[in-house]
Structure 1
Amino acid sequence: MAKAAKTIKVEQTGSAIRRHHSQRSTLVGLKLNKIGRTSELQDTPEIRGMIAKVRHIVRVIDET
């Protein structure tokens, strides 16, 4: 029986306006681009690092 991949659900809470271009690119990589949008992603160290980079404008809703 295969293990189900862990997922993490993220919501954008702040605007990307007046943010550095690398932070905007990180939001696009997280499949976010507008306040209130949510995205469900695989829970990997790379995704965790991206979330840490923009932690001031996103929040983790759920980890499964």
Structure 2
Amino acid sequence: MKKLRVTQIKSGIKQPERQKLTLKALGIKRMNRPVEVVATPQIEGMIAKINHLLKVEEI
């Protein structure tokens, strides 16, 4: 399975609560701290919903 490195590059402060919960579900705790996740369809769907807040790199 491929892995993705996900980094938050924009603040979630003025975002809807649902997007904040998606950030939390991805395991992102702070800005500019990368998190490695396995690219499952569920994870890719979460990333697609908040892609304006993230930088995604394939490992």
What code does the residue aligned with 2:36 have?
E
Q: State the identity %.
A: 37
Q: TM-score by structure 2 length?
A: 0.90
Q: Where do 1:1-64 residues align within 5 Å?
A: 5-61=1-57, 63-64=58-59
> Mind listing any 5+ residue stretches in structure 2 that lack a counterpart?
none
Shift of 1:59: 1.0
Pairwise CA RMSD: 1.0
Equivalent residues, number: 59
> Mind listing any 5+ residue stretches in structure 1 that lack a counterpart?
none
Moved over 4 A (4+): none
Q: TM-score by structure 1 length?
A: 0.84
CA distance in 2, matches of 1:37, 1:28: 13
CA distance in 2, matches of 1:49, 1:59: 15
CA distance in 2, matches of 1:50, 1:14: 16
